[in-house]
Structure 1
Amino acid sequence: MAMAIWICCRIFCTFVLLSALVPAAHSHGLIHPSLIMRRKSHPPPFSASPSAQYDVKYFTQNLDHFSFTPESYVKFQQKYLINSIHWGGASSNSPIFVYAGNEGYIEWFTQNTGFMFDIAPKFKALLVFIEHRYYGESMPFGSKDVAYRNASTMGYLSSSQALADFATLIIDLKKNLTAENSPVVVFGGSYGGMLAAWFRLKYPHVVIGALSSSAPILAFDFITPPDGFDNVVSNDFRSESENCFKVIKDSWKILDEMSSSPSGRKTLKDSFRLCKDGDVDGVGGWLSGAYYEAAETDYPTPANFIQNLPAYPVKQMCKAIDNPSGGTDMPSRLYGAANIFYNYTGNMSCFDLGASDPHGEGGWGFQYCTEMQMPMSDDPKESMFPESTFNYTEEMQGCTSQYGVEPRPHWITTEFGGHNIKRVLKRFGSNIIFFNGLRDPWSSGGVLEDINESIVAIVAKK
């Protein structure tokens, strides 16, 4: 892992140094796992950085970049964070490193993106972290309640609009800083990693290179197998303990049976320390969320990105299942594992499964139901989750019911490509690093092979 990161940094540093010589303006080159829960994405394991290292700014942004109707000129305030401590200044054409904001508060990602802070002194770089529209504080229509009211107000939430936001803000910022000749490199992880790669491809005149970490840009339109994500999660747990894998795999049927009777529901509520009776119906999604996100954040050191977590949380969760400190029945074993993920600090007396959105991710369900259609299924031979097959009709019905919209499953590959990516990007793409760890479930939809000399895949097997 350390060697792979070192190689990644060396390659990245090479093209940044080259890019610093070229002005950016001239560069081209039930009780069942929740379907929405498994599609949430998070950035890579960079070390935390103190919030005091940035200044908070706001940019007046257009609601709609792609039409000229009167409504398109409605403005909203987009939040961004800036760190100029190590910047060499516009006169020296020092670079600008930009983080492409994900689905949440920008501070959440900034404080867990230490790599950019680590390399800023070496390159005398200005650091900019841009919040994604409809997340955090960057709410059109003045408030989250209004912005999330219906499909008409949420309809301006899309990856294309977000990229246009980034481009508009960066161009304006460079003009105000008289830094038109400072090259821009974009960083991102998971959904932000997708945006980083797509930003380089769609706006090569704005960004000269991209580092895209844990970015499943090939998870759309069945380009990669739909069972890949859950298989990686399952293999992560299985690699720690065959018994752990089997207990989880066998648990879904038992949980379903218990939830069908009043006595069983009471046992589940008590076993999982749920705050409310109605939370029993969400236990499956709650458990699967812990398994998914533990696999996504299975870092070798303690972390506080999604939750306060120990090092190697998957290993610790399996230990809780294999060697329970409480009861030995199945619900007690699963509770012990979930408690590692959701309550490692021990501060919670009960779990409220309907709690509010602490990280500001609420718009992701809408994005999933419009453009972020990543088909997922479960192979009963390989997966520890219940057998399932992606069914577009069911997805459409659920999205129409919840948001009043129908998914467009082919839009991402139409807008950004993905099919035959190696052949296509050899023709025009350049200066992108794709970094993936094979224990990360999102690697199942990532770019794992070099495409050309400057579109490079770095893969950590462990």
Structure 2
Amino acid sequence: MSSSLLCLVFLFFTIVAEATYSPGGFHHLSSLRQNKKASKSKPKLPFETRYFPQNLDHFSFTPESYKVFYQKYLINNRFWRKGGPIFVYTGNEGDIDWFATNTGFMSDIAPKFRALLVFIEHRFYGESMPFGKKLHKSPETLGYLSSQQALADYAILIRSLKQNLSSEASPVVVFGGSYGGMLAAWFRLKYPHITIGALASSAPILHFDNIVPLTSFYDAISQDFKDASVNCFNVIKRSWEELDAISTKKNGLPELSKKFRTCKGLHSQYSTRDWLMGAFVYTAMVNYATAANFMAPLPGYPVEEMCKIVDKFPRGSSNLDCAFAAASLYYNYSGSEKCFKIEQQTDDHGLDGWQWQACTEMVMPMSCSNQSMFPPYDNDYEAFKENCMSRYGVKPRPHWITTEFGGMKIETVLKRFGSNIIFSNGMQDPWSRGGVLKNISSSIVALVTKKGAHHADLRAATKDDPEWLKEQRRQEIAIIEKWISDYYRDLKED
């Protein structure tokens, strides 16, 4: 794998290469940026936008720690009455409007619970920039970007909001998907006096410290494609050799530019590899049962649709041509793209801060085995560390997340002191293998579906949703209803 390869988002930065992953659910790849026409437009949301004065540093008392920045949050009180529950989304690594648009489940259930809805943007993302968009590139300023600071932000904002609403007895339930799901689970563990429970969807909290096999992410994607079509899996697996063969030719880059219909001539052979990998990885993540437009506009079960494209090619066709045609479903499902801007990158959702988090605390090592459909590589921590030192002048802390939040022997540990957390996962989501997949106790439950994709349960309900997804949501609603009824019962007894 090339040292120029950028790879996946709600969670991580691995280097064998220079790969960036984040579990939010979006690779920091040209793949995400290529689709800005489809994903950048913002529908009008049923929320009021507000800004909360937040301290820069919650964990020291130096003069600079009292610097104030304005944290964006969205609020909808249409169904709420004083004393009613407050549903809070713990924001991910990006623009909070984007996540609010793709988390319709909370809005769907708000009338039933007469709940106040609040979506809080994560510091250093979207509009919540403590030092402005141009001044947060140095380690001196980025040092205030961490999950611990973000959780403290949420706690302070929620407490202030309840006080201002004169509704301090309102129970708070936190929701989150991907990195936001990790934050929701950790918020319940760190601030149990502020939230009564958490729904953590597609939250790979075990993707640290070698708790799960390093190959699990790419193994899951490969299995998704193999389940759709063994031929499709094999064609994609063979396509990398063809790509390398063309790349070594004298006029390899012009030939690749023509084959990949690039808007401008390619400067690196690895750009096409990144582009292809991005399409397959993201499509596996958002392999939703119905048409959606989270990462890009796609049909229902897009992995199967990709493989149908591959399987329609006649025997003896170029594997690389098949792979390109399949990837084009992700990048050009609408058919409007006349060429592909493979090397022209933009950051339309404000995800740039993730590279810092991945280089400091969110160290989620990965590797790729010979059995996967991707080019194999071994995790190289030393190369990763050197890259972070070169980029930011800081060393990663690979054991910090498990020290701060736990993860080792999680069943034994959480059974003793944790409660009221739903870990939901769909096994077609590549991040699921780093999630909690078994019940830990009667109140820390795992809801696992065979076909679910990346936080599919948090999406708005549609008339075409399959029965397994409807049932997963019914279970979540029932559990949340019990949390809230138990809370009000205890409140009366007090």
**Same fold by TM-score greater than 0.5:** yes
Deviation track 1:105-136 (CA, whole Å, cap 9, x = no partner) reads 10101011111001100100000000111111
The letter for the 2-side match of 1:77 is Y
Q: Is the 8 A contact 2:4 2:270 kept in 1?
A: no
Aligned to 1:441: 430
170-179 vs 383-392, which moves further: 383-392
1:365-404 matches, within 5 Å, as 365-381=355-371, 383-404=372-393
Aligned to 2:224: 236
In the TM superposition, residue 179 of structure 1 has moved relative to its aligned partner by 1.2
Question: Are positions 1:41 and 2:34 aligned together?
Answer: no
Structure 1 gap segments, 5+ residues each: 1-29
Partner of 2:445, secondary structure, is strand
- Aligned mates of 1:33, 1:248 — CA distance in 2: 18
- Aligned mates of 1:407, 1:371 — CA distance in 2: 6
1:282-297 matches, within 5 Å, as 282-297=271-286
Q: Is the 8 A contact 2:423 2:447 kept in 1?
A: yes
1:2-13 matches, within 5 Å, as none
Question: Are positions 1:82 and 2:75 aligned together?
Answer: yes
Deviation track 1:208-240 (CA, whole Å, cap 9, x = no partner) reads 100000000001000111111110000001111
Partner of 1:412, secondary structure, is helix
Aligned to 2:193: 205
Deviation track 1:230-268 (CA, whole Å, cap 9, x = no partner) reads 100000011111111111112223222322334221111
1:19-418 matches, within 5 Å, as 30=2, 34-35=6-7, 36=13, 39-42=21-24, 51-88=44-81, 90=82, 93-141=83-131, 143-147=132-136, 149-276=137-264, 277-278=266-267, 280-324=269-313, 328-353=317-342, 354-381=344-371, 383-418=372-407
In the TM superposition, residue 99 of structure 1 has moved relative to its aligned partner by 0.4
Structure 2 gap segments, 5+ residues each: 8-12, 14-18, 27-41, 452-494
Percent of residue pairs identical: 56
Could you say what the CA RMSD is over the residues aligned between the two structures, in angstroms? 1.9
Aligned to 2:439: 450
Paired positions, count: 422
The letter for the 2-side match of 1:400 is M
Partner of 1:275, secondary structure, is coil
Aligned to 2:469: none
Deviation track 1:158-201 (CA, whole Å, cap 9, x = no partner) reads 11111011111111111111111001000001100000000000
CA 1:87–1:122 in 2, change beyond 3 Å: closer, same or farther? same
Q: Is the 8 A contact 2:236 2:320 kept in 1?
A: no
- Aligned mates of 2:5, 2:228 — CA distance in 1: 21
In the TM superposition, residue 71 of structure 1 has moved relative to its aligned partner by 1.5
Of 399, 420, 425, the match for 1:431 = 420
Q: Is the 8 A contact 1:32 1:284 kept in 2?
A: no
CA 1:370–1:31 in 2, change beyond 3 Å: closer, same or farther? closer
Q: Is the 8 A contact 1:31 1:255 kept in 2?
A: no
The letter for the 2-side match of 1:435 is S
> How does the TM-score come out when normalised to structure 2?
0.82
Partner of 2:293, secondary structure, is coil
CA 1:68–1:432 in 2, change beyond 3 Å: closer, same or farther? same
The letter for the 2-side match of 1:86 is F
In the TM superposition, residue 324 of structure 1 has moved relative to its aligned partner by 4.4
- Aligned mates of 1:330, 1:137 — CA distance in 2: 43
In the TM superposition, residue 280 of structure 1 has moved relative to its aligned partner by 4.1
The letter for the 2-side match of 1:174 is K
Partner of 2:211, secondary structure, is coil
